Structure 1
Amino acid sequence: MLKRIFKAVDRAFVFVEDWSLFVAVAFALLAAMANVILRKTTSINLYWSDEVVRKVIFFTTYIGCSVAIRSRSLIRIDAVPQIFPVTKKALTLLSHLAVLVFALLMVYLGVKMTVSVYHDEYARTATLQIREWLFYAVLPLMGGMMFIRTLLVMVEDWRGSAGEG
């Protein structure tokens, strides 16, 4: 039962991560390409395309953190376990705990920042005048996804090591 829930959560996260990243990057790429083509062939300049690209980089960086956990590509101590294999489990646990603490901080601080910017009626993007709180809302979302993803990886590691013994 628990395994089925973990798989469902994982599938949902994969769907959200992959499609949101695909759509965001595709939109930024199209906006940037259209701006370059229009600027070189006509006198038209899409003044907003640079802002779109910057916001997409922001979004993909944070959502990419959850993807990095999924693919086990998050930065961690790697040299010590290769030299001293006995330290691998302890350092992996330490790494997971550090990510959990970081994720909780991102949720806490992200919510505070999002609420603060939400109440500032002048906090808008420079060219498109989109409310900035929408972009800050990515921080607690990313923190929550990182926290859940890390728990899933920890259970996977625990079951893997428990099955070996």
Structure 2
Amino acid sequence: MDKRCFCPPDTKKNNGKEGYLEFRGVTFSYPGAEQPALSDISFQAGPGEITAIIGGTGAGKSTLVSLIPRFYDVDAGQIMVDGMDIRDMSQEDLRHKIGFVPQKAVLFTGTVAENIRYGQEDATDEEVAHAAAIAQASEFIGRMEQGYDSMIAQGGS
């Protein structure tokens, strides 16, 4: 990965804008590892921008993304969201600022609607239907006997 930072030196004041992510010299090692999984990574991603994290198997893409919601903490450097180090945020505040889509989809025991609302518990029925449409799941859900009220088990069965 390119280690150069194309970031302004001070992002603490984001001028009221939200959605900025910045890695500043981030290094991370898994416990017991001989070498870091990531070493001195710096980049910035702004709202509305498309940022691609590419690399071969084992290059650290999933590790990098797992650091953002603090599934792990960095060994060195900083991860900034809207100009604030994520270690200075409560986990709740941090996770309200980000959306996370894992490589493998996970479903929980509950209704289809409850699973869709997982990321935003107060979503209206219209917002749930809109999210299903974006995910191209509306037709499938419509064929279920109870639609959005259909029960599913953990894992999706």
Shorter-chain TM band: under 0.3
Q: Which has the higher helix share?
A: 1
Structure of greater Rg:
1
Which structure exhibits the higher relative contact order, with contacts defined as CA atoms closer than 8 Å and separated by 6 or more residues? 1
Higher strand proportion, which one? 2
